[in-house]
Amino acid sequence: MAADLEEKTDRYERLLAEALDAATVAVPEGSPLADAAAEYREMARSYLDDGRHFRERGDLVNALASFSYGHGWLDAGARVGLFDVPDEGHLFTV
């Protein structure tokens, strides 16, 4: 069971890190939507950092939750059009 949690945590950390790299802002710079995109990206980055902090402390449950929440912010941003994301692959559900 612990090995499954560790593997899943590893996978979700990679997923979030790759998704952060792949998502580009799709709205005009200086617009209120650009501010929203920056906030969504910052939330995702913060959850990635938090997850890594929890992992270092051996708290895989909270690490996995953090990575999952972070990816949720990016995925939601992609769904509402804040980010351009790859149509193909495993990074996003749009």
pLDDT of residue 94: 66
The dihedral through the CA atoms of 90, 4, 47, 62 has a sign that is: positive
Q: What domains lie within the chain, and their CATH numbers?
A: 2-84 (1.20.1270.90)
pLDDT of residue 88: 82
Does residue 11 sit in helix, strand or coil? Answer: helix
Q: Predicted confidence band at 1 (pLDDT cuts at 50, 70, 90)?
A: low
Q: Predicted confidence band at 82 (pLDDT cuts at 50, 70, 90)?
A: very high
The dihedral through the CA atoms of 77, 75, 40, 24 has a sign that is: negative
State the average pLDDT over residues 27-42. 96
State the average pLDDT over residues 48-67. 98
**How would you class 35 by CB atoms within 10 Å of its CB: exposed for 0-12, middle for 13-18, buried for 19 or more?**
exposed
